[in-house]
Structure 1
């Protein structure tokens, strides 16, 4: 078990979400940085979608009540165990009674605490993710508070981690050849033109060419962007239709909204683009006030990025198994 000692609002239990229920109005939820979750779980030998703790308000402290193993991924927030610095993206053994602390992020916004066996809360509709809007899933459908006790899942075999841990390179660097570098300080986000793209005429091109800023009216549901408004060539009225994470809608104000992990299940605003799935984790780590630009790509190009990211995750899992297996053979 683990005990939450100190936390802030909006820190929750998340996994990869609950797809398949949008037709009845249930949001997918899930980690805002799914890559951090997948890498952390792979290092620990967990199932890729095991539940973790998503931290977005700091400081955060928890106490391990039994010996286990953990890894902090995502934002670099100067984590420490009993006051000793912990390397990010490094799976480490931990003893009962030890205290894990996370401070304000140095880079990124959201940190993920992955623990061997995963966080064992009840699955709702096949997922352990917290839906704050629906008040279900995770830990009683709410964010964590001091004093909460969370159970851990069983592990099939001893991890045999070395005392120094098993670390991987931060995906932002390991996948540097896959992800475009910032342009004039603006995050480059790849997207595919969506259904109503042509309705925006010349403004559609300005959507791609200008630099947008993430406004303070942004959260897990969606990121509202600030910039020179874009609007359809003629007023358009649409029936509500299904939307998913990554869809970029344009409300009457002309300032686009990127649907995120707690995306609305339906909406009537015209869709100008869809952020490719492999780039969503970068948005999940981008701070309010940051600038970004969209770059148009094809479905084939998006698939190549997905393939490269999946290969990286597979390499992490194989490396972890190899190291732990070698240590077990030496005993």
Structure 2
């Protein structure tokens, strides 16, 4: 008898894919002999997940339409029994890709809102998306089709000895082994001046600088500033504005697993709503996510050591996707007032309230 094949389609990014980990773990636990493959957007997802042993084959989606078609043909030949589109999935493009791959049972979520171009009917099993649930829970609801009620709720990442040794050596070379280490991620994708979607998720750079100064003055903290190559200007700006520059360390471009190893060494991680925030929480680091336009109910750090702070202005969160729109673009005409109203003092108070400092 041929091996049962399942395909996971996750085309929303690293953070969203990490929030599918409990579902993937439960799927592997209950179908240990099945072949489980993953279609994803970036090599970073492969780097993070391949050591877990949950996925048999990774396929990284290309932005080249010819390469996409060849990939779909290759996947179609695998004759999957099931395909699952990871939450959020209210986009006709996702439905079309899943249909073209042609699993016998194509599973997705169904939403109250449907765009003019809606192809969810191409999936033959639809699970109701519930507005009050975290993305982790939305993905776990896929298990209902197998009558499985999973107790697996942890979003967890694990590092090997070499990666941890790298972090130890890095901190030793900087003289930071005994420091109260705080990691920050002031980015959100895109350069400082680039008009890209991620800018709407960023707590002001000057606020991050002032927060660093406060943590250094009150806790003697040393600050590690994280971010990708495209965020180098933002990282430099945080350090430039800060008063205690000698206590701020910019983490240059490293592999995602080495970045994770350094995050693991932090006592505290403070971030916008980004993939690094989810990585920190998955590593068991005390993590504070700063939320403005995006919905903390959906994507707050999902762990016992994960927390969030948000403002209470009526228009926040303004990201309507996926429940009330099929567009994942944030449209703000108020200058991200929701983030500017989260002052440095409020963040410090939140950290004290949580006994994190």
Q: TM-score, with normalisation over the residues of structure 1? A: 0.31
The structure that is strand-richer by fraction is 1
Higher RCO, 1 vs 2 (CA within 8 Å, ≥6 residues apart):
1
- Between Structure 1 and Structure 2, the one with more helix by share is 2
